[in-house]
Amino acid sequence: MNKILLSFFVFILLHNYTVAQKLLTDSSKAVSIKYGDKGFEFNTADGKFQLQIQGRLQFRFATPEDQDPVTFDDFSGEKKPSFKINRARLKVGGHAFKPWIKYYWEYELSQSNLLNFTIAIEKWEWLRFQIGQFKVEYSRERRISSGEQQMVDRSVINRAFTLDRQQGAEFYGHLKGKGLADFNYWAGVFTGTGRGNTANDDSHLMYFGRLQWNFMGRYLDFEGSDLEIHEKPAGVLAINGVTNQSPYTRFSQAGGGSLEGYENGQPGQYRVNQANIETAFMYKGFSWQNEIHWKQIIDKFNNDYTDNLRGYYVQAGYFFHEVFDWWPKPLEMAFRNAGYFPNSEQDQTKKRENSLAFNWFFNGHKNKLTAETSYFNYDKTGNIPADEWRFRLQWDISF
């Protein structure tokens, strides 16, 4: 599937380039070139082809270290403050032949990783389809782009519960009824082996579903901070579920991996069932989002030994300029509280995070500076505590 989709992407890019060249040399026709929210944009006069190109850099300073503590032992040992280019992305998207045949790919330059590649058919609002490699919409926190987050990065529970990127196909749509009867849905089938894996490990696929109620009658996009300053309230309530059987107990940008106390298993060793309830809300500069997670891991090669993991986060932000004239208009304050509670012999470390962030938006999420301080408090069974403070400063710019 990788080769077919990449060949299609190359064909579209070359075709768009050829069409644009012909239009530029033909005075009787015109090609539109502009700079917008998705970078440089090229549109043919007939509207059949569009090409968008955008770059993004994320610079980060962190002390005493950048990464969230993973195990209880991470609180001891040498600390290493860091200054780095945390993300360097190239994004290419648009449509081809018809405005509703859309393509998109995203490449991480700093790690040489192809992150996203998708072809989407979006002719009807109520029924859409995409195929390729992309973030599964299981978690709002993970689905929101790292360039449009409210905090410097995702919470301490993301490691345990995210599905990250998967390869497969998905149906989705918007069911707009009268009044509060406003819903979105997603249903997908994936290989269930993470980014970069083109085949499943056995005959079991990953099945995913999400039902979202837009209870204010308005859709709320996957984006942090109420930059639009919604004049009318917008909120969502979503339930998500997934089941998968694979060698892995967690996923990340690197692909499949293992939670603490587990090792990468044999094909089909771990049956993982997950669910979460999610809410989000925005109104007049105030934004809120939270998730409550449950995850079950069944070791099929060890007498169906079962673990149940729980986690949550709540996050809120506000542009105080809405109530105080002296507060700078581009400045937002945000707070997050998160907790992770394993219930297993392999890992008994309870994790808690409290973070406070200030965002200065020079040009929305396309050019912003974020300062964040976090306090981590972990403990094992027996009330053995460990804690740590962290400070991070980040500049995220797209061009």
Please calculate the CA angle 295-300-303 and round it to the nearest 5 degrees: 105
pLDDT at res. 12: 52
For residue 152, with 0-12 CB atoms within 10 Å meaning exposed, 13-18 middle and 19 or more buried, which class applies? buried
Which residue is listed with tokens 């609002």? 125
pLDDT at res. 190: 97
pLDDT at res. 14: 53
- Give me the phi and psi of 240, to 5 degrees please: -130, 145
Asked whether 59 and 86 are in contact (CB, 8 A), the reply is yes
As averages over each run of 10 residues, the pLDDT of the chain (399 residues) reads 50 53 53 88 92 96 92 79 95 96 95 94 97 96 96 96 96 91 97 88 93 95 96 97 96 91 88 97 98 95 88 98 96 97 75 97 97 92 78 96
pLDDT at res. 196: 87
pLDDT at res. 344: 63
pLDDT at res. 236: 97
In angstroms, the CA 359 to CA 371 distance is: 7
pLDDT at res. 28: 40
Round the CA-based radius of gyration of the chain to a whole number and report it: 22
pLDDT at res. 27: 42
Q: Report how far apart the first and last C-alpha atoms of the chain are (Å, whole number).
A: 31
For the entire predicted model, the pTM comes to 0.89
Which residue is listed with tokens 């949550």? 312
Helix (H, G, I), strand (E, B) or coil at 62: strand
pLDDT at res. 386: 85
Please calculate the CA angle 113-119-123 and round it to the nearest 5 degrees: 150
DSSP 98-155: EEEEEEEEEEETTTTEEEEEEEEE-SSSS-EEEEEEEE-TT-HHHHS-TTS-SSSS--
